[in-house]
Structure 1
């Protein structure tokens, strides 16, 4: 069973952003599945790297949408993106150096930060971009 189930409560009423959020959910679930199957550090690292890379490109896309629509809380939202990116990059660096392994705690952290970010922060821009 997937760690993170997408449902319509996560929708921001923007097809492109919803699809990008679904891709992030898929990557977290792929990491969970690979961990459960006992895949190698190389495989886990590649999926983790894809998650980091896609997260950064998604945040950039979202920020450009906010700028285009003159979203009033853009600066605060961008700072939150930077904080989340730094947290994930730190975890990835710790994984790469062997200080951290892919565990259910790490996966729950990734799931929770994405879920909370969508439901608490991204939902605020819905009236501006949908």
Structure 2
């Protein structure tokens, strides 16, 4: 069951980025499903690992396209990416400490990232990429 359905508000119109964002939504849905079944603690390890893998390939793709497009605010955007990676490391530490509230914290963070980063922050680079012919 999908708790969050892909919506065009998250879309950039850049196929590689949108596909990666859809994967992010599926990871969040997996976490939400686990929580609804009271299995959040069991699933959180997978989600943290997947967040780390996602960040590696997605941020590399996104920043590479920003560079190619000459996006002027790439340094500012990288700060958001660095904060995401820092949060993933924090989650991993808390997981290793058996933090009982971690599954809820991860879910809240991913939901916030979806609603703030994908639908707002990422939209800022779209015009630069479109002007550069990236789609």
* Length-normalised TM-score, structure 2: 0.83
* Cα deviations by residue, 1:29-60 (Å, 9 ceiling, x for unpaired): 11221232233745431232112221232111
Aligned residue pair count? 129
Offset of 1:64 from its aligned partner? 0.7
Offset of 1:76 from its aligned partner? 0.6
Q: Which runs of 5+ in 2 are unaligned?
A: 131-135
* Partner SS, residue 29 of structure 1: helix
Aligned residue runs from structure 1 range 1-130, under 5 A: 1-39=1-39, 41-99=41-99, 100-103=101-104, 105-130=105-130
Q: Distance in 1 between matches of 2:86 and 2:102?
A: 18
8 Å CA contact retained: 1:31, 1:48: no
8 Å CA contact retained: 1:27, 1:50: yes
Offset of 1:108 from its aligned partner? 2.4
* Length-normalised TM-score, structure 1: 0.86
Distance 1:92 1:66, change over 3 A: same
Distance 1:55 1:4, change over 3 A: farther
Q: Which runs of 5+ in 1 are unaligned?
A: none
How large is the RMSD of aligned CA atoms in angstroms?
1.9
The farther-off stretch of 50-59 and 64-73 is 50-59
Q: Distance in 1 between matches of 2:22 and 2:59?
A: 14
Q: Distance in 1 between matches of 2:45 and 2:80?
A: 25
8 Å CA contact retained: 1:67, 1:74: yes
